[in-house]
Amino acid sequence: MTMTKPTIELLNISSELKKLWDAKQGENKIRASLFTFILYVEKGERLSYYQNLVKTVISKLPCRVIFIQVDEKGEALKSCVTSETMGEGAKQIYCEKIEINVGEKLLPRIPSLILPHLLPDLPVYLLWTKDPAAQSSLLRLIEPIAERILFDADSTEDLQSYARSVLSSLTQFHCQIGDLNWSATSGWREVIEQVFNSPEAFSSLRETKRIRIHYNKKIGSGSQHSEIKAAYLQAWIASRLNWKFQTIELIEGNVRLSYRKPSRDVVVLLQSEEVSTLPPGAILSIEIESSQEEEHYNFKRHPETSQAFIQYSTAKQCDLPYSLPLAHIKEGEEIVKEVFNPSTGVHYREMLEVISEIPWRNAP
């Protein structure tokens, strides 16, 4: 249950949190937190998405939320405190939320304001939604206190610059790095690994001549770049097979990339569709064509279940389709996965290295 949001003095945050909790005494609620969750969000179309994300996180993981909302044109510094309750009946868990609305010119004051409200001896997770390519002194100040920083590439205007900035962060930051879009592709990566886990199948994958990835371009969703998950997935495949990027172009609204490998060139097509029942950027299907015996692999998301259907065929045969579990991460739950099961590692870094070589601005 969300409480009302009266503006309070910044110096009174702790006392106001105590008042909120005191008002809940006798309601069979347990005050609990596993970590402090800080969000840095700029005012805009995605604001409501991040507000809903907070509710998703709290419903799965009790935590104290510090929600920093930045207004580029504003000059004020305001705060309020609210509470969220997870669970039902006699097992309700009470969580606290501190909201700070700040004008961009006053951002240097934020570290000193949030430091007293970090829960002692518990980890701090930071969701940084601003493009890391836009050098931020605030990020450098907050980074030392964070256990893990999670980036969201949807904020970027240039995916190539984004990848280079995150790669730099991987070597410079003391904390771990996470990526919401990378986490969201984990289900498809697991399916591809299962299909091509034999020497024969992997040999076929090495002889790939064309890949076509269909993704959901949901209109009016607030997402600025629904192609990012598809871009990540194709770059991960390219990194695993040591393909070298050559060209990128936009053809009839779809992205066409080409890669060089020892035997021949590979063409990758990223094509958009609109499916209202799935979140923006969701991978809908993947087609992989191999020059080895004209093999063709078709991966397709089941519209209602957490499964991927796989159809294999050659010029001479067509096998019966089969299905594999497709780990489906609901929109907003990527951060829950990153907290419990960090997915960034060598594969993530090498995927970013491929992305960093591609001038995405040439194909907006």
CATH classification at residue 278: 3.30.360
153 plus 231 within the same structural domain = no
How far apart CA 96 and CA 22 sit, in angstroms, is 13
8 A C-beta contact, residue 67 and residue 98: yes
Same domain, residue pair 165 and 192? no
Q: In total, how many domains does the chain have?
A: 2
Query: Which of 145, 160, 179 marks a domain boundary?
Result: 179
DSSP string, 33-65: -S-EEEEEEESSTTHHHHHHHHHHHHHHS--EE
Q: Residue 219's pLDDT is what?
A: 64
Same domain? 239 vs 131: no
Closest C-alpha to 227, from 280, 293, 177, 175: 280
Q: Is the pLDDT of residue 93 over 80?
A: yes
Q: What confidence score (pLDDT) does residue 1 get?
A: 37
Reported as a single tens digit per residue, the pLDDT across 100-148 is: 999 888 888 899 999 999 999 999 999 999 888 887 888 988 999 999 9
- Domain ranges, residue 65: 10-179
Separation of alpha carbons 165 and 136, rounded Å: 11
Tell whether 129 and 234 lie within a shared domain: no
Domain shared by 257 and 290, yes or no = yes
Q: Which residue has the tokens 């960090």?
A: 342
Separation of alpha carbons 188 and 339, rounded Å: 20
CA distance 126 to 355: 24
For residue 277, the SS3 value is coil
| b/e burial code for range 5-41 (CB count within 10 A of at least 16 → b) | eeebeeeebeebbeebeeeeeeeebeeebebbbbbbb
Same domain (yes/no): 137, 210: no
Strands 148-151 and 124-128: parallel
Q: Residue type at 157?
A: E
Within a domain: residue 26?
yes
Are 173 and 149 in contact, with CB atoms under 8 Å apart? yes
Last residue of a domain, one of 163, 179, 195: 179
pLDDT of res. 220: 59
**Among the listed ranges 6-15, 75-84, 209-218, 283-292, which one has the minimum average pLDDT value?**
6-15
| pTM strictly above 0.75 | yes
Residue 4 lies in a domain: no
Clarify whether residues 162 and 292 are in a common domain.
no
Question: At residue 218, does pLDDT exceed 80?
Answer: no
Same domain (yes/no): 149, 259: no
Check whether residue 195 and residue 334 sit in a common domain: yes
With respect to residue 342, please indicate whether it lies within any of the assigned structural domains: yes
Question: Could you give the 3-state DSSP secondary structure of residue 104?
Answer: helix
Mean pLDDT over 344-364 rounds to 89
- Please say whether the dihedral angle defined by the alpha carbons of residues 136, 152, 288 and 363, taken in this order, is positive or negative: negative
Query: What are the DSSP E strand ranges found in the chain?
Result: 29-31, 36-42, 64-71, 77-86, 92-103, 124-128, 148-151, 176-179, 208-216, 244-251, 254-260, 265-273, 283-290, 296-301, 307-313, 322-325
Q: Domain of 112: which CATH number?
A: 3.40.50
5 inside domain? no
The string of pLDDT tens digits covering residues 272-331 is 999 888 888 999 999 999 998 889 999 999 877 889 999 999 988 999 999 999 976 666
pLDDT value of position 329: 63
Residue 270: exposed, middle, or buried by beta-carbon count in 10 A (0-12, 13-18, 19+)?
A: buried
pLDDT at 148: 92
Give the Å distances, CA to CA, from 159 to 110, 144, 255. 28, 25, 14
Q: What value does the mean pLDDT take over residues 338-343?
A: 70
User: CB neighbours of 167 closer than 8 A, spacing ≥ 6?
Assistant: 349, 352, 353, 356
